[in-house]
Structure 1
Amino acid sequence: MRIFEHQDAARSRTLRLVLLFILAVAATAAAVHAALWLCWQLLDALLPLELGLPHRFLAVNIGVTLLLVLGGWWIETSNLALPGGTERLLRRIGAREARPGSSAAEQRLCNIVEEVCIAAHMPCPEVMVLPRVQAINALAAGLDPAASVVVVTQGALDWLTRDELQGLVAHECSHIHEGDTRLNTQLAGMVTGLELVWRFGDQVRERGGLAVLFGSAIMAMGSFGWWAGRALQAAVARQRELLADARAVQWTRSRDGLGGVLRKALTQQQQSAAGAAGTDPAWKPVLQHLLLVSGAAERGGWLAAHPPLALRIQRLYGRAMPALPLQADGAATQPADLTPATA
């Protein structure tokens, strides 16, 4: 795997996609103004009176649209920006802090997180566990690297070897190190703001009369911005997943660690393990794109926030690889590894 070439390509594509996202927001504001201007010109042509454009028509249209986008962004991200906001959000989906003193598997997890952070020269995030979730998955969250959180499911602790768990942790720590958690959260907030433009048009249309015309115009342009924002946000998330995969190989010096994680996750997906391997929690929309594995990725499409597992595995190994059978890791039941390895 040409890890450094993959990293450079992912960063370059991310920059282009973020610029396109900014252009999409600006284009939405311009489109809303253009649609309202056309509606006003239509009324001016149909009515016997000369209406003329209202005072500061352009400024009001652009300003209100951008205010809605920024307002949605603020609503979506403000709770996470507060001290402990990320941890509170994760607790709502059932996560709790890791307990290394009472569990060998969680002791091993905490040791691995410390090892990877030493190797990456980054502050150690808080470690949390999602108990009773047997699907292999993880996420990293937090707007500030110094107050970030890594969450690992019980399935990852039970089914992964130490090397595989190290690859998983390295992948999540890469998201923190590269600023992906902040970038993805900010883009998700902007998408929420674009959705508010559509909802505002819907509220205007409900007033009836001529408001139906103007509300429909706002909804049409808001819908364009919303779908464009969602597609670009998902494209950015896919590139950051590929970047984190390459980073994990660089830090662990092994493709088999993360490769084993993805191949076992592929086994769970092939077995439709929703009943056999546990049920995923109800992930909040702001966390969906932060997951290690997403079932929606296998359906593909522009709105998938993750590349398909088969594609990620092929990029790691340079060829297609079969899924790995699920076998409980016996090391997780052994006495705790009390001394973290040096970098």
Structure 2
Amino acid sequence: MLIFESQRQARGQTRRLLVMFGVAIVLLVLAVNAALALAWGLTWSFWIPGGFSLPRYFVEVNTAVTVLYVFGGWWVETSRLSHGGGGTLARLLGARPAQPSGIEAEQRLCNIVDEMAIASGMHPPAIMVLARKDAINAFAAGWDESDSVVVVTEGALEHLTRDELQGLVAHELSHIREGDTRLNMRLVGMVFGLELLYRLGQDLFEPDERDRRPAPALLGLALMAAGWLGWVAGHALQAAVARQREYLADARALQWTRSRDAIGGVLRKIAIQQDKTTQPRMGSMVQHMLLVGTEAGALAAWFDPHPPLKERIRRIYGRHMPPLPLGRPAEETAPPPPTPAPRAEDAAAWTLQ
């Protein structure tokens, strides 16, 4: 895997996809104006003698309302997500702070996070654990390094070796350093804004108390159609952006650990785990932040923000690799041998010295 070339390609793809996001908004504005013009003609203008005509400032008002809803929803949602930092989001999902003083595996995790923070030149993030999660997974959250958090499942602590846990932590630290968590929050806000436009049309299309649809119902249906197309385009582009950032984080993990088997071993163990069982869902709001997605179904593949595991593994090793069995070597799981008590003559000799 050419590390720096992969990083350059991922950043370039992300910039192009963000430009496509802007193009999608422009196309959405055009679709809204076209749909509303058709609805206006069907409800009024087509039946009046003198030909089809639009009201004054029709296009200007529609464009302003569309942009207001999209960017207003974007601002409202990102403002809501910004309160409390990454720890608040982690607690909503059931995570708890790591307990290095009482649990050996979590002490090892805290040591690894400190080591990888030094290797990456970052401030160590807060560390949390998702209890009762047997699947190997993790995510990073937060707007910047000051309020960032790395969350790891208990399954990762149980099944990963120390080197593999280093690769997993390095992957999540890359998301924080590269601003991926902040970017993902903003993309969530953008999609929320596109969804607001659909909801506006839904409200206009709703029947009244007597189950009769008002005159603007056709306008509402037009807004629903345009808003739904915008929502689909937004989710597809959001997933495409996230996929490129996953490739970049994999390359960063390889760079910081200097081992293909670190992040590669994690993904290979996840591959065998996915073959045996379906990962439990962890909430739609963090699907794009997870190391691997937990959504199932044919439709989820269209909007999956993660590249296929086989392709990620192939990029790391340069060839296809088989899955790895779960678990850690015996020397990592065995307790340290007890320290022998000093012999009486040794203690006496030490005292005389």
TM-score above 0.5, yes or no: yes
Report SS of the residue matched to 1:102: coil
Distance 1:333 1:214, change over 3 A: farther
Structure 2 partner of 1:6: 6
* Equivalent residues of 1:140, 1:175 under 8 A apart: yes
* CA distance in 2 between partners of 1:28 and 1:226 (Å): 10
Q: Measure the CA separation in 1 of the matches of 2:282 and 2:109.
A: 24
Q: What is the percent sequence identity of the aligned residues?
A: 55
Is contact 1:150–1:172 with CA below 8 Å preserved after alignment? yes
Shift of 1:45: 2.2
Aligned to 1:249: 254
1:265 to 2:270 alignment = yes
8 A Cα contact 2:137 2:291, kept in partner: yes
Distance (whole Å) between structure 2 residues aligned to residue 201 and residue 190 of structure 1 = 18
Preserved CA contact (<8 Å) 1:105 1:333:
no
Structure-to-structure mapping, 1:23-172, within 5 angstroms:
23-42=23-42, 43-48=44-49, 53-82=54-83, 84-172=84-172
Structure 2 residue aligned with 1:282? 282
SS in 2 for 1:256: helix
1:319-338 maps to which residues of 2 (within 5 A)? 319-328=319-328, 331=332, 334=335
CA contact (8 A) 1:164 1:261 kept: yes
Counterpart of 2:327 in 1: which secondary structure?
coil
RMSD between aligned residues: 2.1
Query: Aligned pair in 2 of structure 1 residues 46, 66: CA closer, same or farther (>3 Å)?
Result: same
Structure 2 residue corresponding to 1:211, chosen from 216, 230, 250: 216
Aligned to 2:195: 195
Structure-1 separation of matches of 2:52 and 2:262: 69
Unaligned ranges ≥5, structure 2 = 208-212, 337-353
- Structure 2: distance between partners of 1:260 and 1:175: 19
Q: Using the alignment, how far apart are the partners of 1:147 and 1:332 within structure 2?
A: 33
Bigger RCO of structures 1 and 2 (CA < 8 A, at least 6 apart): 1
Q: Given residue 118 of structure 1, which amino acid in structure 2 is its aligned partner?
A: I
CA contact (8 A) 1:79 1:86 kept: no
Letter in 2 for 1:40: W
Matched residue type, 2:246: E
Q: Which amino acid aligns with 1:228?
A: A
The reply on whether 1:233 has 2:232 as its aligned counterpart is: no
Compute the displacement of 1:297 (Å): 8.2
Q: Secondary structure at the match of 1:29?
A: helix
C-alpha offsets along residues 29-56 of structure 1, whole Å, 9 cap, x if unaligned?
A: 2321222123324421213588964443
The answer as to whether partners of 2:201 and 2:221 remain within 8 angstroms in 1 is yes
Residue 241 of structure 1 aligns with an amino acid whose one-letter code is E
Given that residues 73 and 192 in structure 1 are in contact (C-alpha distance below 8 angstroms), is that contact kept between their aligned partners in structure 2? yes
**Structure 1 contact 158–332 (Cα < 8 Å) conserved:** no
SS in 1 for 2:302: coil
Q: How far apart are 1:116 and its partner, in Å?
A: 1.1
CA–CA distance in structure 2, aligned partners of residues 106 and 332 of structure 1: 13
Relative to 1, partners in 2 of residues 1:227 and 1:298: Cα closer, same or farther, differing over 3 Å? closer
Q: 1:332 to 1:125 in 2, by over 3 A?
A: farther
SS of residue paired to 1:134: coil
Mapped contact 1:80–1:143 kept (Cα < 8 A): no
3-state SS, counterpart of residue 319 of structure 2: coil
Q: What is the CA distance between 1:210 and its match in structure 2?
A: 2.7
Aligned-pair CA distance for 1:146: 1.7
The structure-2 alpha-carbon separation of the partners of 1:7 and 1:298, relative to structure 1 and needing over 3 Å to count, comes to farther
Structure-1 residue corresponding to 2:210: none
Structure 1 counterpart of 2:183: 183
Separation in 1, partners of 2:282, 2:96: 15
Aligned residue-pair number: 328
User: Structure 1 regions of 5+ residues with no counterpart?
Assistant: 275-279, 336-343
Q: Which moved more, 1:29-38 or 1:142-151?
A: 29-38
Whether the 8 Å contact between 1:32 and 1:217 is mirrored in structure 2 is yes
